[in-house]
Structure 1
Amino acid sequence: MDQFLAILACAVLAGLTILQGALIAGAPLGRMAWGGQHRVLPAKLRAGSALSIGIYVLFAYAALAKASLVPPVVNESFTAITMWVMTAYFVLGVVMNGISRSKLERLIMTPTTLALATIYLVLAAQ
């Protein structure tokens, strides 16, 4: 079950990476991210999207490490703590996306983030 959840988390994060990459490239999808205030993201938010991609890679690696699909970065205790921190991050993301002024962000990103929060919670609790 852990391996399935880790791969599912990676698939969702890959989808978010594609979205962030499109935003960096100037796609008019800005209503789905960063508060939804811009149709096309300005340079500062594009930089934030690039940073997000790096963070998604770390999140994916942590899920894979927790499921023993890759070696832990430091040790299993560090991975366990990291998973709880990431779970809290996604729970905060659910709240932030849920209160967004952007209808698209609320409708698409809130359930996406909720799915990730749930996956990371289950993985963290294992």
Structure 2
Amino acid sequence: MVLIVLTSAIVFTVLILIVILFQMALAAGVPWGEYAMGGKFPGKYPIAMRFACLFQIAILAFIGIIVLSKSGLLLPEWSAFADIAIWFIVAYLILGTILNLITRSVWERRIWANVTIVMLITSIIIATS
């Protein structure tokens, strides 16, 4: 079971780092808007959305820290908090998976739905460990 949790934590971390890098690219003005937010902002994000990406990066980093703490790889002193917070992450990923599956953006469905499904599965494995 320890190996499964460790593998899940590594997979989750790699995927959340990819999502963070994507958000950083959007915030920097890379014209990938059609791949996020249902494709509502094709091309470069407007300034307000670019700042929203920075907020999203902070949230994603916090989520990553919680998952790593729950899996025992980082900040063991957060263990009690992570035991509860992981279930909010699972709920967040359920919602994210649903939204990525029903979005009008074909690219979002093709790319991010798969990413959130894997993140959801790995977060459930970690949460139930």
For residues 102 and 77 of structure 2, the distance between their equivalents in structure 1, rounded to whole angstroms, comes to: 34
For residues 98 and 85 of structure 1, the distance between their equivalents in structure 2, rounded to whole angstroms, comes to: 20
Q: Secondary structure at the match of 1:38?
A: coil
For residues 107 and 36 of structure 1, the distance between their equivalents in structure 2, rounded to whole angstroms, comes to: 13
Give the TM-score, by structure 2 length.
0.90
For residues 111 and 119 of structure 1, the distance between their equivalents in structure 2, rounded to whole angstroms, comes to: 12
Aligned partner (choices 108, 118, 123) of residue 121 of structure 2: 118
Give runs of aligned pairs for residues 5-44 of structure 1, distance below 5 A. Answer: 5-39=8-42, 40-44=44-48
Which amino acid counterpart does residue 117 of structure 1 have in structure 2? L
Gap runs ≥5 in structure 2: none
Q: What is the CA RMSD across the aligned residues, in angstroms?
A: 1.3
Which amino acid counterpart does residue 44 of structure 1 have in structure 2? A
For residues 11 and 53 of structure 1, the distance between their equivalents in structure 2, rounded to whole angstroms, comes to: 14
Aligned partner (choices 28, 40, 49) of residue 53 of structure 2: 49
CA offsets per residue over residues 46-80 of structure 1, 9 Å max, x none? 11211111111111111111111112454x33211
Is 1:109 aligned to 2:112, yes or no?
Answer: yes
Give the TM-score, by structure 1 length.
0.92
Change (3 A) 1:34 1:72: farther
Change (3 A) 1:105 1:70: same
Change (3 A) 1:73 1:20: farther
Identity %: 29
Gap runs ≥5 in structure 1: none
Shift of 1:34: 1.4
Show the counterpart of 2:68: 64
For residues 120 and 55 of structure 2, the distance between their equivalents in structure 1, rounded to whole angstroms, comes to: 20
Give runs of aligned pairs for residues 92-107 of structure 1, distance below 5 A. Answer: 92-107=95-110
Which amino acid counterpart does residue 45 of structure 1 have in structure 2? M
Q: Secondary structure at the match of 1:70?
A: coil
